[in-house]
Amino acid sequence: MKRLRHYHSINRCYEIAYEFNFTDESHLNRTFKKYKGMNPSEFRKVNSLELK
């Protein structure tokens, strides 16, 4: 759950990728999409609407 909280933050994807030791931002994006079915920016949009 800690990892998902970072997607609600103002951190950029490359900052999150670095923090969680991904080789680069595209590696984070591919892995995130594999497990969540959407890329991080889509996840932020969908979840920011739910928070309002």
Q: What is the pLDDT of residue 17?
A: 87
> In which domain, by residue range, is 45 found?
2-51
Q: Which of 11, 32, 14 is nearest to 23 (CA)?
A: 14
Q: Which tokens is 10 given? A: 């103002």
CA distance 34 to 49: 22
SS3 content of the chain, % helix, strand, coil (to 5): 70, 0, 30
Structural domains counted in the chain: 1
| CATH number of the domain to which 18 belongs | 1.10.10
Helix axes 40-51, 25-36, angle to 10 degrees: 60
Q: What is the pLDDT of residues 1-52, one digit of tens each?
A: 455 555 556 788 888 888 889 999 999 999 999 999 999 888 888 877 655 5
pTM exceeds 0.85, yes or no:
no
Q: What is the pLDDT of residue 50?
A: 56
